[in-house]
């Protein structure tokens, strides 16, 4: 209804209440293109009350998840669309309608505080409009949630372009993909088996009253029943656990390595796969490659917490070269991140259809360059957190045609059973216990 604007929001002249602040944070993500994770950090710094902080974060991510549904609902409640420059008011309606339709918050408080926020935002003229829209939202709550005769993008809360790609690529799976992508992801830990307290890890979690379950393939995974602050997880600070989704935990097990091998983890930030490789194979000589200094620093921080050592290099994977080639390479390529929408729902607002082709070209450039840095007889594991074939199986099919010395390696049956064998790699769809991910293992001829 209102598209993202390129200009920046002016600073408020007067303090606003929590609903007004939430609207401001929503506007930053939806209409200004800011990352939800960056805005979440603002919330953590600016909101001292834990309950208010939790509400603000819940509203921000909830609006991103349900944007198409909320935008449609508001269009049904307004007599005429708001002007395109009223995105701060639109954000207030988005966040307030979300609370009324999806949260068990006090309805009168949502309405009265939203009306007050209008006045604090110096939009007195809109107070009556906001009051009327929100009261109508309450009266029509059931029909708005049922979405009778609403377009498919509203029913599945997915942008048209992405819905079309999912349907074309996965005609038997697209509905489940959409539904799972709009669910809240669990917090999954990875156990560090090299830690001194590894054998007592489960008992430590139980003693802290943290309920969890294990996974039949990702043996080091502990899926928690509910999200919690990592500071509350026993021995997290000493490196017993790391936060990593099950799909990402498969990488270290799928890359064949031997003691003393020189291994490259390309596009490595924040360092989860780097650390996992070293936890499983501490004798490796491992190099972590990252383009941006700030992201490389995150690798350093993670390795330091886990008491692990790797060479961290800041360079471009498209041009990076070495005199002595690597025995094995892990490439977690830059991608559309369409497999992790449930963790980063603002992807639906920020990604565009026209972004995909440049990403495909970038992936091919990186893959082609890194292949030259691999020893004959070595393995390269290509990974993305995408579920789009152009970035995955089609990418690998094209690469195999380009490189006569590249051969596809069949992944273990136990892993293949967790997803869909595309013929050029394993596609994992977003499900309750894991994100969407793609893996393809290649071997360079001797």
In a domain, 266, yes or no: yes
In a domain, 6, yes or no: no
On whether the CB atoms of residues 432 and 186 are closer than 8 A, the answer is yes
Number of domain units in the chain: 3
In a domain, 1, yes or no: no
CATH of the domain at 107: 1.10.940.10
> Considering 64, 178, 335, 385, which one is annotated as catalytic?
385
> What's the predicted TM-score (pTM) here?
0.93
In a domain, 9, yes or no: no
Q: What is the 3-state secondary structure (H, E, C) of 404-416?
A: CCEEEECCCHHHH
In a domain, 82, yes or no: yes
In a domain, 303, yes or no: yes
* pLDDT tens digits, 149-195: 899 999 999 999 999 999 999 999 999 999 999 999 999 999 999 89
Q: Is 315 annotated as a binding residue?
A: no
Q: What is the spatial distance between Cα 111 and Cα 407, in angstroms, rounded to a whole number?
A: 61
Residues 251, 296 share a domain? yes
Q: Is 271 annotated as a binding residue?
A: yes
- Residue 384 neighbours by CB under 8 Å, 6+ apart: 332, 333, 335, 339, 363, 391, 392, 437, 438
Q: Is 389 annotated as a binding residue?
A: no
* pLDDT tens digits, 232-247: 999 999 999 999 999 9
In angstroms, the Cα distances linking 254 to 142, 372, 413 are 48, 21, 12
Residues 344, 316 share a domain? yes
In angstroms, the Cα distances linking 212 to 75, 191, 242, 304, 429 are 42, 12, 15, 26, 22
Residues 260, 225 share a domain? no
Residues of the chain below pLDDT 50? 1-13
Residues 273, 142 share a domain? no
118 is catalytic: no
- Residue 144 neighbours by CB under 8 Å, 6+ apart: 73, 76, 101, 137
In a domain, 8, yes or no: no
Residues 354, 237 share a domain? no
Residues 218, 79 share a domain? no
pLDDT at 16: 84
Q: Is 268 annotated as a binding residue?
A: yes
pLDDT at 84: 82
Out of 197, 224, 243, a domain closes at 243
Residues 377, 258 share a domain? yes
Tokens of 325: 């080639």
On whether the CB atoms of residues 55 and 113 are closer than 8 A, the answer is no
* pLDDT tens digits, 382-428: 999 999 999 999 999 999 999 999 999 999 999 999 999 999 999 99
Domain that holds residue 197: 188-243
Q: What is the spatial distance between Cα 240 and Cα 235, in angstroms, rounded to a whole number?
A: 5
Q: Is 122 annotated as a binding residue?
A: no
Residues 252, 237 share a domain? no
Residues 125, 53 share a domain? yes
CATH of the domain at 286: 3.40.50.150
pLDDT at 148: 83
CATH of the domain at 226: 3.30.70.1170
Q: Give residue for tokens 């002016």.
A: 10
Residues 309, 239 share a domain? no
In a domain, 216, yes or no: yes
Residues 229, 97 share a domain? no
Residues 260, 228 share a domain? no
Q: Count CB-CB contacts under 10 A for residue 77.
A: 19
Q: Is 113 annotated as a binding residue?
A: no
């Amino acid at each position: 209804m209102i598209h993202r604007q390129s200009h920046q929001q002016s600073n408020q002249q007067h303090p606003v209440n929590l609903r007004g602040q939430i609207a401001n944070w929503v506007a930053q993500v939806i209409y200004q293109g800011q990352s939800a994770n960056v805005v979440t950090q603002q919330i953590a710094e600016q909101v001292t009350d834990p309950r208010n902080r939790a509400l603000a974060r819940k509203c921000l991510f909830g609006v991103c998840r349900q944007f198409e549904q909320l935008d449609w609902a508001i269009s049904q409640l307004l007599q005429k669309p708001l002007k395109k420059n009223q995105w701060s008011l639109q954000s207030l309606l988005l966040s307030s309608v979300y609370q009324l339709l999806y949260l068990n918050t006090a309805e009168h408080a949502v309405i009265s505080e939203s009306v007050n926020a209008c006045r604090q935002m110096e939009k007195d003229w809109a107070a009556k409009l906001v009051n009327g829209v929100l009261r109508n939202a309450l009266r029509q709550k059931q029909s708005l949630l049922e979405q009778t005769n609403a377009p498919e993008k509203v029913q599945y809360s997915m942008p048209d372009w992405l819905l079309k790609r999912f349907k074309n690529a996965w005609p038997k799976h697209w509905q489940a993909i959409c539904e799972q992508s709009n669910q809240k992801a669990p917090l999954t830990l990875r156990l560090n088996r090299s830690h001194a307290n590894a054998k007592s890890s489960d008992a430590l979690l139980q003693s802290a009253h943290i309920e969890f379950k294990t996974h039949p393939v990702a043996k080091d995974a502990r899926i928690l029943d509910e999200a919690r602050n990592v500071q509350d997880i026993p021995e997290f600070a000493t490196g017993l656990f790391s936060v990593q989704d099950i799909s990402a935990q498969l990488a270290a097990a799928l890359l064949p390595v031997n003691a003393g091998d020189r291994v490259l983890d390309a596009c490595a930030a924040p360092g989860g796969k780097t650390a996992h490789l070293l936890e499983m194979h501490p004798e490796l000589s491992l190099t972590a490659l990252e383009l941006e200094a700030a992201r490389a620093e995150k690798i350093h921080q993670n390795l330091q917490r886990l008491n692990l050592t790797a060479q961290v290099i800041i360079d471009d994977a498209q041009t990076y070269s070495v005199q002595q080639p690597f025995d094995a390479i892990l490439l977690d390529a830059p991608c559309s991140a369409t497999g992790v929408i449930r963790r980063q729902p603002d992807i639906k607002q920020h990604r565009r259809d026209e972004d995909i082709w440049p990403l495909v070209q970038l992936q091919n450039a990186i893959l082609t360059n890194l292949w030259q840095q691999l020893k004959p007889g070595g393995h390269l594991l290509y990974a993305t957190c995408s579920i789009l074939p152009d970035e995955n199986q089609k990418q690998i099919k094209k690469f195999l045609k380009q490189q006569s010395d590249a051969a596809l390696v069949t992944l273990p049956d136990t892993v293949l059973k967790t997803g869909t064998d595309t013929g050029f790699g394993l596609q994992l769809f977003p499900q309750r216990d894991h994100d969407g991910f793609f893996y393809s293992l290649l071997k360079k001829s001797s």
